[in-house]
Amino acid sequence: MVGNVAIDGPAGAGKSTVSKLLADELGYLYVDTGAMYRALTWKVMNQNIAMDDEVEIARAAEFTDIELKYDAQRVLRVFCDGQEVTSEIRQQVVSKNVSKVARIAAVRHHMVRLQRRMADKQPVVMDGRDIGSYVIPHAQHKFFLTASIEERARRRCQQLDEQNIPFIGEEVKKEIEVRDEMDRSREIAPLIKAPDAILLDTSCQTVEEVVDEVLKVIRGE
């Protein structure tokens, strides 16, 4: 038993791919906290709530049920009020708006409560922006994954391509930059490396190399 693992970092640093593989390797639950903020953003957009209407968004958060469930193939599926939104939440329109929703205090309060409950119930690999610094500050292992903006944009385009989601390359890079800036500069639980997190620049590493490195640290090899 190696205890909870927190993985933070900017957009497109490979957190979710690495976290999922780590969770598989350790037999832990993978908690994609970004998917939770994305699911709520999808609902807010679907209900035509204005992105600057913080009161209505906070109200929507309070009455939103978000579930992360593995299917038989161990693919993580995302449900919002019982409806599957796994692929919808990856659309660029959701990416563009998610940081506006995620900066609202009441939204974060609600999500963090759900996330802490999951981490209390079973060992988790949890990825996001504020996991090591705020959500589970006592996690046994903390990592902060990053990579150059060019590499992160390249990876995100490749991912969108594989998922058959339409995109424009230059816009993807811009969207990532704008979102990172909003995530870093927000007042509550911003994107930050916890002082005791291990920084890994993955610009020149494959997913397998990153997973190996993280596992070595976790296992004290």
- In this structure, are residues 211 and 18 in contact, taking their beta carbons and an 8 Å threshold? yes
Residue 192's nearest CA partner among 32, 8, 6 is 8
Q: Alpha helices, DSSP H only, in 122-165?
A: 149-162
Residue 92's nearest CA partner among 187, 12, 10, 183 is 12
Rounded CA-CA distance 30/116 in Å is 13
Position 12 contacts ligand CDP (CB under 6 A): yes
Among 40, 60, 130, 197, interactor with ligand CDP by CB under 6 A? 130
Q: Which residue is nearest to ligand CDP (CB)?
A: 34
Q: Which of residues 161-180 bind ligand CDP (CB under 6 A)?
A: 179
**CB atoms inside a 10 Å sphere around CB 47:** 10
Among the listed ranges 34-42, 65-73, 79-87, 210-218, the one in contact with ligand CDP (CB under 6 A) is: 34-42
Among 19, 26, 31, 34, interactor with ligand CDP by CB under 6 A? 34
- Smallest gap from Cβ 38 to ligand CDP, in A, equals 5
Please compute, for residue 49, the number of CA atoms within 13 A of its CA located in the half-sphere on the CB side: 20
- Smallest gap from Cβ 129 to ligand CDP, in A, equals 4
Among 5, 6, 19, 33, interactor with ligand CDP by CB under 6 A? 33
Among 21, 45, 80, 98, interactor with ligand CDP by CB under 6 A? 98
Residue 75's nearest CA partner among 102, 42, 35 is 35
Segment (H or E) for 131: none
Among the listed ranges 11-19, 48-56, 194-202, 213-221, the one in contact with ligand CDP (CB under 6 A) is: 11-19
Position 200 contacts ligand CDP (CB under 6 A): no
Tokens of 177: 């930059």
202 versus 220: smaller Cβ distance to ligand CDP: 202
Q: Which residues neighbour 97 within 8 Å (Cβ) at sequence distance 6 or greater?
A: 41, 44, 45, 51
Position 183 contacts ligand CDP (CB under 6 A): yes
Position 128 contacts ligand CDP (CB under 6 A): yes
Among 102, 147, 153, 218, interactor with ligand CDP by CB under 6 A? 102
- Based on its alpha-carbon atoms, the radius of gyration of the chain, rounded to whole angstroms, reads 16
Enumerate binding residues for ligand CDP (CB under 6 A).
11-12, 15-16, 33-34, 37-38, 98-99, 102, 128-131, 179, 183
